[in-house]
Structure 1
Amino acid sequence: EAAVPDVALTRSRDGSTGTATFRFDNATVLSLDDVWDNGLLTGLWLRDEEGELHTRDLDVEFERGRPTRVVAILVLKSVQEWQRFIRFMERYAEANDLSY
């Protein structure tokens, strides 16, 4: 089962840009040997019928030397990208019985 992230949104005052910060606590990907041996944690991809949004801006947070959280930041550089992201999130929320 996929981890459900916390998602924090920020948007510029004029609405032209924004960010979506995804936080995955105790993500199962952190327990896979391939992630550490082969560097397979390379990005976050959001896919739906419109296509794909992605970011390579990732960070892994550690507590007591153990990985505990994956943080991905998706930068939305235009009103169109913001609207596209919101459509993705609406479909994702509906498909997974979530709300925001």
Structure 2
Amino acid sequence: MTAKIQLAIGIDEEASDVKITRSKDGDTSVAVFIFESPNCMTGADAGNNEILGMYMIDEEGEMVTRNVNAKFINGKSAGIEAIHKLNGQNEWERFLRFMNRYAEANGMSLNKA
């Protein structure tokens, strides 16, 4: 199974950018996903899609965050930002395994600050 992200169930998305920060002690981490032109907000069915969260799906299962914010400029979609908070080493390692699979499937690479 290929790693994928969905904002509306059944509609695969490609993140425009992902920013990850981690506390010095490694206890908490935050990943911010940016979707500039999400598939769920474009096309003929855009008004009918229900966005209840961001679903990160791969062979290990599914991770979900409900912290998803749509942006609009002059009444038109300007993208979506989703924030996924991670607590502890186990969640961090699981997230990294997903991101490695997702990056490989979508031609993304890591740029360290």
Matched, 1:73 2:87: no
Gaps of 5+ in 2: 1-11
Structure 1 spans left out of the alignment, 5+ residues = none
Matches within 5 A, 1:6-85: 6-31=17-42, 32-35=46-49, 40-85=50-95
Partners of 1:49 and 1:3 lie apart in 2 by 18
Between the two proteins, the alignment pairs up a number of residues equal to 96
Give the partner amino acid of 2:28: T
Name whichever structure is richer in helix by fraction.
Answer: 1
Structure 2 length-normalised TM: 0.78
Task: Give every structure 1 segment of 4 or more consecutive aligned residues whose post-TM-superposition deviation is greater than 4 Å.
Answer: none
Q: Is the 8 A contact 1:27 1:68 kept in 2?
A: no
* CA deviation after TM superposition for structure 1 residue 73, in Å: 0.5
**RMSD value over aligned CA atoms?**
1.4
